[in-house]
Amino acid sequence: MDKQIQEVQERINRESKILMKLKEEVGKVIVGQDDMIEKIMIGLISNGHLLIEGVPGLAKTLTVSTFAHALNIGFKRIQFTPDMLPADLIGTMVYNQRTHDFQVKKGPIFSSFILADEINRAPAKTQSALLEAMQERQVTIGEETFKLDSTFLVIATQNPIEQYGTYPLPEAQVDRFMMKLKLDYPSKDEELSILNIHGSGKVPEASAVIKKSDIERLRSVVHLIYMDEKIEQYIVDIVTSSRKPDEYELIDIKDLIAYGASPRASLYLKLGSKANAFLNGRGYVIPDDIRDIGYDILRHRLILTYEAQAEDITTEDVIEKIFSGVEVP
């Protein structure tokens, strides 16, 4: 086993240079938001879709488009609106007058890197069309089914403060996102850097530093990272404690959780922690990797009770109690 870990470690040492180039290139354009950049990289190499929530002006759209330039793969930005139909997203059948038959006209979802901007502005049927494509990684138009690109990845954004003309995503659909990121305002120093870089009239652009083949290779390396059985049990304990807190002596959160995390949480905690170890240059997972990505994977999978909402208790508060109460291996 030690020899296997050593071989994986040597490969990670080689492959991590690509990730560092990608991070540096994005950092030329995006000031601060280091956590968002790292989580997008984790989503990229673990093949998991992301939902980003934050007030306007926090560079959500700019970050995703900058990644697209640096990745050198197909990119589509889809602006969701209240009058948007599923056909506007996935495509439809169009009648050809010359051939007298119907032909498939593919929609913008047929790309590698998808930015679903303000996803909560679209009605439920359009959201469902996107989320079905995310889950199945295929689209059916008429009687034909089309596989999506192997590097297909969706990053959706939503504005949490504006409710007029929005359609909140149902919890069952949100569960299909690997992580939900919550962005905060930049620090004073970061905001000063933003003024200097983006207020000069010469906005920098990211150059392509990674190819489609690199992404596929990096994803294969993530699965090779070693995870001990004790770490796997730790993941299962964290997820199970959100469903049955009394079994873990977490009595104070028993009445705060209406529904615990789904099995997808366990799968993504394992995959995400491996990707996090990769970013940190390790060929094995440690408990800190679970905690680093745990909040982002669990926050949209815990449904709190009315009592918790009445007491202004957030999912982050509950997750903190879970991490504090579950024994660390």
Q: Residues 10-21: pLDDT tens digits? A: 888 888 888 888
Query: Does residue 199 register a pLDDT over 70?
Result: no
Confidence class for position 296, pLDDT limits 50, 70, 90: very high
Query: Does residue 164 register a pLDDT over 70?
Result: no
Question: Start-end ranges of CATH 3.40.50.300 in the chain?
Answer: 2-218
pTM of the model: 0.88
pLDDT in tens, 311-325: 888 889 999 999 988
Mean pLDDT (the chain, rounded): 85
Question: Which of 59, 55, 51, 56 has the alpha carbon at shortest distance from 33?
Answer: 59
pLDDT in tens, 102-149: 888 888 888 888 898 888 888 888 888 888 888 888 888 878 888 988
Q: Select from 1.10.10.10, 1.10.8.80, 1.10.540.10, 3.40.462.20 the CATH code of 225-325.
A: 1.10.8.80
Instruction: Encode burial over 12-38: b for 16+ CB neighbours within 10 A, e otherwise.
Output: beebbebbeebbebbbebbbbbeebbb
Question: Start-end ranges of CATH 1.10.8.80 in the chain?
Answer: 225-325
pLDDT in tens, 36-89: 889 999 999 999 999 998 877 777 778 888 888 888 888 888 888 888 888 888
Report pLDDT for 253: 86
pLDDT in tens, 255-272: 888 888 889 999 999 999
**Is the dihedral angle over the CA atoms 263, 266, 269, 272 positive or is it negative?**
negative
CATH code for the domain defined by 2-218: 3.40.50.300
The answer for residues whose C-beta is within 8 angstroms of residue 84's C-beta and 6 or more apart is 121, 122, 123, 126
Instruction: Encode burial over 112-149: b for 16+ CB neighbours within 10 A, e otherwise.
Output: bbbbbbbbbbbeeebbebbbbbbeeeebebeeeeeebb
